[in-house]
Amino acid sequence: MEGAIEELDRRFEIPGIAQVVEGKGGLPKVRITSPEAVGEMYMHGAHVTSWTPAGGEEVLFLSSQTRWEHGHAIRGGIPICFPWFGGKADDPKAPAHGLVRTKAWQLEAIAQVGGAVTVSMFTESDESTKRWWPAEFRLVHRATFGRELSLKLEVTNTGKTSLRFEEALHTYHRVGNIEKVRVGGLDGVHYLDKTDRNQEKTQQGEIVIVSETDRVYLNTRNAIELEDPVLRRRTRVMKENSATTVVWNPCVHKARSLSDLGDDDWMQMICLETSNVSDFVVELAPGQQHTMKGIVRVADS
């Protein structure tokens, strides 16, 4: 792998700003040290694992027990769920959250944009994906590391038949103490409660985590705000072309059932997921492209 990483670095490096280096488990990653931010993105799943805006603290949570191995999803950062979310409706043997978070993506470009850096990685349908899903597709993940973190997931239907898919940027936010945070912006929005037989309910006010929380907020294009009094920051998540927002915290018992999550890690994380899932699957005609965008911005509170 070493030679291949050096070759990638030779082709894509921006001296002093972005390098391709060997990451954990020997997996290649792009390391960004720009005037506006530092960050990391693994080619394994085109997975952003770190973003720290200049003058700030790390925004993303990364599990201390993550398995850095081919075939395993990284626990933390921003996994990409595609072309289904959760279990595959018609095939319980299929991998959870789809096919691309455990795939080796390819590096398309690294570009400096003012004080920020955009890293673009892509993956396409192949034998490994067609084993589970016959469609032809090309996926590009463009992550811009700057004062804000901007993520674009571009799906192109490269086949001859219509595509139907779910997608999510399954972002793990690092928090000071989960029991103290508040999530605003979803008041009055209907959601499916996955901890209660997918019952449909209505959000009343802000979200407070007091027990296992696993909800799909439906038909919402709202920006949301994560208020964290312990880390004294407010994180705003904005989005485009996304009709659902997933909110997840496993709490103590579910956390213990996840071998790649430290027993108390649940206290330092919350997932806020820009997505199109459940009844809001995306339909794409042959040759068409769809781009979902998520933007994360942090302010002191």
For binding to ligand TA6 (CB under 6 A), which residues are involved?
73, 86, 96-97, 170, 194, 214, 246, 248, 271, 273
Residue whose CB is less far from ligand TA6, 97 or 142: 97
Residue whose CB is less far from ligand TA6, 38 or 258: 258
**Minimum distance between the CB of residue 153 and ligand TA6, rounded to whole angstroms?**
16
Residue whose CB is less far from ligand TA6, 105 or 248: 248
Kindly give, in sequence order, each residue whose CB lies less than 8 Å from that of residue 55, ignoring residues fewer than 6 positions away: none
Residues taking part in catalysis? 170, 273
Residue whose CB is less far from ligand TA6, 74 or 143: 74
- Residue 148: closest CA among 41, 251, 298, 288: 298
- Residue 79: closest CA among 147, 141, 27: 141
**Minimum distance between the CB of residue 279 and ligand TA6, rounded to whole angstroms?**
16
**Minimum distance between the CB of residue 252 and ligand TA6, rounded to whole angstroms?**
15
**Minimum distance between the CB of residue 79 and ligand TA6, rounded to whole angstroms?**
7
